Amino acid sequence: MRFGILSAGLCAAAVAALGVTDHAKAQGSVENFYKGRNVDLIVGYNPGGGYDAYTRLLGRHMGRYIPGKPNLVAKNMPGAGSLKSANYLFNIAPKDGSVYGMFAGGIAMDALIGGKKTNFDPRKFNWLGSMTESSSACWAWHTSGFTSFDDVMKKEMLVGATSGGSSTAAWPRSMNYFLGSKFKVITGYRGSAGITLAVEREEVQGICGYFLSSIRSRKPQWLKDKKVIMLIQEAKVRHPDYPNVPTVFELAKDDKTRQAFNLVFGWQVMGRPFTLPPGVPADRVAAMRKAFWDTMGDKKFLADGKKIRVTIRPRTWKQVNAYLEEAWKTPKSVIKTVFVALGRDKAMKRKKKKKK
């Protein structure tokens, strides 16, 4: 009997030892891969904007938590509201863990909504997590004459945007379609920095799809000197600092509109999401996810973030995946209304005419 118990104990110990050995080997393998290596950290926007600030902040700190402590190199890859970087990460970037990056969560929704050259399935990315849950709004310049969303329901307001697929363009157009607002979107500006400069020059009267975290980090004087007025919050719930400004979800007339808004605005739960390409070895994905999350609690990282005035409210990779799975259950009829609201039906017709 004792021999049996002893044998069972030895077997258990042997299995445990093998488990520890396998874990050590995996850690060693990941460390050997990353040691002395440069890892590219792609951001789908121009320098100077909010996405760029978050990416470079992460790049200054996350390397300490990756086995082998590689050197992280931030690289800008702007184009089509970050669609270019998303397609690159999914289809072209090496699938060995040496490249990861961030693009707008709304671009992930384009793969569901359609009408864009989204050559990827966002559910197949190896998401690491998000540095924050975003909270966005429409802002009016103080001399524009717009002081509330009711004003935009009555008269035309010029808002600047980058590309047609960016939140700065897609969101005001969605509000026009579903709520009857009168935003006139002027595209072609170079990143959020280009739009904010146009606002200051009064080329346009405001900006939509501009995150509160971005305005606090890039344009703090706007808030301090009351240069801008928040008209409406593009979020599910009111931000605690703006309890008297309504959200788009509050103005939704029915459940279908709220479902549509979940596709257009709801992805902000993804905030500033970072991902590895699909096909990266599982041990490297696990190591990078752990490194990302450990960085989110790092004191030096948090102090650096506070210094540059960015909000850190991290979300796990599981939360990102959960939102995507929920979005993909949206009825096709609702997805079609969003497609039309964003003007993609008209864009497709124009493309067909050009081909003829």
Domain assignment present for 65: yes
Residue that is last in its domain, among 214, 243, 267: 267
* 298 and 275 within one domain: yes
Query: Residue 80 has what pLDDT?
Result: 85
- One domain, residues 278 and 263: no
> Among 134-138, 338-342, 351-355, which stretch is predicted with the lowest mean pLDDT?
351-355
Among 234, 221, 228, 161, which residue's Cα sits nearest to residue 191?
A: 161
pLDDT tens figures, 228-258: 999 999 999 999 999 999 999 999 999 999 9
Confirm if 275 and 127 have CB atoms less than 8 A apart: yes
Q: Within a domain: residue 11?
A: no
On whether residue 344 sits in a domain, the answer given is no
Q: State which amino acid sits at residue 75.
A: K
Q: Do 76 and 125 belong together in one domain?
A: yes
Half-sphere exposure of 150 (CA within 13 A, CB side): 3
Task: Assess whether 96 and 148 both reside in one domain.
Answer: no
Residue for token pair 């789908």 = 44
pTM: 0.81
For residue 65, the enclosing domain spans: 29-132+271-332
Distance CA 247, CA 200 (A): 25
Residue 2 banded pLDDT, cuts 50, 70, 90: very low
Using left for φ > 0, alpha for ψ between -120 and 50, and beta otherwise, residue 86 falls in alpha
Strands 183-186 and 228-234 turn out to be unpaired
Handedness of CA 283, 284, 287, 289 (dihedral sign): negative
